[in-house]
Structure 1
Amino acid sequence: MKAGRLVSILLLLQTRGRMTAAQLAEELEVSVRTVYRDVEALSAAGVPLYGDAGHAGGYRLLEGYRTRLTGLTTEEAEALFLAGAPGPAAELGLGSVLAAAQLKVRAALPPELRVHADRISGRFHLDAPGWYADAEETPYLPAVAEAVWNGRVLRVLYRRWAEPTDVRRRLEPYGLVLKAGRWYVVAGPGPRTFRVDQILELSSSEEEFTRPADFDLAAYWTAYQRDFHDRLYRGEAVVRLAPGVSLPRAVVLRTDADGWTVVRVPIESVGHAQGEFLRLGADVEVLEPFDLRTRLARTIAELAGIYGNVT
């Protein structure tokens, strides 16, 4: 543990510059006294580490000092190469950059870790998009990514589902999210979420914006997904399921003598639920709401009329 912590201190100072003992202790989740001992150990090992006293003081490395990545564990080296998704990087226009970065990291690894990294690359491949869906064309993705990185305002023609469908928007892009093979840009004011593949026209500008200092992209996306599901499933249905059949997010109410289970499930709408329950055929019986049960009965009667009596 101590060896790994020493490497962490070294890399933190190398990437962030001057840090106080309290900042290092908070980052590493140890006491300030432990940081003092670790800094003494690094100095004794010949690391050019200096401490400045005073209010603006802290520890820092000698200017220009860099360390090789010999502190990586086997698991960290494997995870590093597993996390490099070439598909999304290429879509962002960073395919060659990612390849060059991985090449440099690989060259800096000790031979034994290099073997593990190569094994990961050869045995695992990440493919984000789902089956049965054509990949969305996102010609403006590199431009959006550049605006995110440089803090530049975008003006877009955006296609939404509600009327009027095509609207012009001024976006302050805070960040990009890749979800199930689809790119989303989170942008102010708001912030709000936009699908990148629904951008019909885009023009960048030299106008800069200030990204909120307290904006956390990961936290926003987690809250956005939770709110999306809360808004998506606004209704409920009570249904009977044949033995062995289950539904996601179902709450079991009782099990009948014939083995069928009565459950309560959230539904997006009556129309959407009708299609979903029809997929289960005779393995489901809708009890409530009455409107949904009636629509299913009407649809089933119409299907029977089309296909006739089957013997």
Structure 2
Amino acid sequence: MAVGRLFEILYKLLNKRTITAGELAEHFEVSTRTIYRDIDTLSATGIPVYASKGKGGGISLLEGYSFNASMLTEREQEDVLAALHSLAAADYPDIHAVLHKMGMLFKKEGRQWLEVDFSPWGSEDQRRQLFPQLRQAIADSRLIQFRYYNGAGHESSRQAEPTQLLFKSKSWYLAAFCLASNAQRVFKISRMKDVVVLDSSFEPRLVAAAIDLAEEHAVRESVKITIRLSAKGAYRVFDEFDDAAITVNDDGSYTVSAVLPEGTWLYGYLLSFGDLLEAVEPERVRTSIMTQLDTMTIRLDTAALGRDLTCANNKEE
């Protein structure tokens, strides 16, 4: 059921009063049977819409009826518009026209109180178009091709049948049937590079719920960690962890217990806290971080020494 089409039919009836099913079917490029199903749906919601036969007949609203926005509370009206704004961020077809009309019905036209952008800060246009590009590939059942970097940093080339976009724990993922693995996979969108929608189409498969697959994979490769962060790290603590995972210590520092994916990502994540990080458990995670710090120190010192020698040689010449 196209919700946008229902709202637009109602909008047309409010402004034109009578319109034929054929006119609506032609406008929306659907069958008259679909239009009559839409009319039945509107009628079931309590809107007095009816169809009359004969000359001058058509689909009309009961004489004297006007759409009463008070059927929805102020909060419900805002929620409807928020959902439509989210669709607009994904470049959903014709959604801006629906937004305009709903804004007029709710007497909130012209209010740009919400804007949604799925791309990271500073993204180029190509990155901004990735989300609508994937959405369209899913809608059209088209194969996609891309380079992918897994959690260990390994690069691979993939072709996949995209099935669903999902949001989990501050990140967007793509659920797809991977042709290389011959199995359903969940890809983190930020790690997908050079995405191309191919001309080849596919028949959608019956697959497991993507969110369940992602959850199972995350839990299977996760570790429970306990960290202590200094009081200066409050902005990170409350931004990134649930309240139930946080303990405020007597000295103002924070102890956080959480289950996180184990591996290269975890070590990089913990290192991102810098000197805010005061303690880490379990020991093997702490040892891995210390090893990485030692490796980084050696590499940085070697690189600095190499630059100094090059500068010295240049001066002698």
Q: Give distance in 2, aligned partners of 1:276 and 1:186.
A: 24
Q: Give distance in 1, aligned partners of 2:256 and 2:77.
A: 46
| Alignment equivalent of 2:114, drawn from 109, 124, 149 | 124
- Equivalent pairs: percent with the same residue? 18
Number of the residue aligned with 2:143: 155
| Alignment equivalent of 1:285, drawn from 278, 283, 287 | 278
User: SS state of the match for residue 168, structure 1?
Assistant: strand
| Alignment equivalent of 1:65, drawn from 51, 54, 59 | 59
Number of the residue aligned with 1:83: 83
Change (3 A) 1:302 1:129: closer
TM-score when normalising by structure 1: 0.52
Number of the residue aligned with 1:165: 156
Change (3 A) 1:280 1:193: closer
5+ residue gaps in structure 1? Answer: 1-10, 29-37, 51-62
Is contact 2:89–2:116 with CA below 8 Å preserved after alignment?
Answer: no
**CA apart distance, 1:135:** 6.1
User: SS state of the match for residue 223, structure 1?
Assistant: helix
Is contact 2:49–2:60 with CA below 8 Å preserved after alignment?
Answer: no
Q: Give distance in 1, aligned partners of 2:259 and 2:268.
A: 14
Change (3 A) 1:252 1:127: closer
Number of the residue aligned with 2:212: 223
Number of the residue aligned with 1:204: 199
Q: Give distance in 1, aligned partners of 2:296 and 2:132.
A: 50
Change (3 A) 1:93 1:160: same
**CA apart distance, 1:166:** 1.2
Change (3 A) 1:221 1:47: same
Give the total of aligned pairs. Answer: 243
Change (3 A) 1:77 1:284: closer
Q: Give distance in 2, aligned partners of 1:296 and 1:208.
A: 44
Is contact 2:163–2:176 with CA below 8 Å preserved after alignment?
Answer: yes
**CA apart distance, 1:236:** 3.0
| Alignment equivalent of 1:102, drawn from 96, 99, 102 | 99
C-alpha distance after superposition, 1:22-77 (max 9, x if no partner): xx6xxx8xxxxxxxxx8xxx8xxx75489xxxxxxxxxxxx952548714336244
1:130-145 alignment, distance < 5 Å: 130-131=120-121, 137=127, 145=135
**CA apart distance, 1:252:** 6.3
**CA apart distance, 1:201:** 3.6
User: SS state of the match for residue 96, structure 2?
Assistant: helix
Q: Give distance in 1, aligned partners of 2:137 and 2:92.
A: 13
Change (3 A) 1:70 1:200: same
**Given the alignment of the two structures, is residue 237 of structure 1 paired with residue 225 of structure 2, yes or no?**
yes
Q: Give distance in 2, aligned partners of 1:199 and 1:279.
A: 27
User: SS state of the match for residue 127, structure 2?
Assistant: coil
Q: Give distance in 1, aligned partners of 2:88 and 2:155.
A: 34
C-alpha distance after superposition, 1:85-126 (max 9, x if no partner): 38x6476473xx23333344455x2xxx32x343xx233333
Is contact 1:239–1:287 with CA below 8 Å preserved after alignment?
Answer: yes
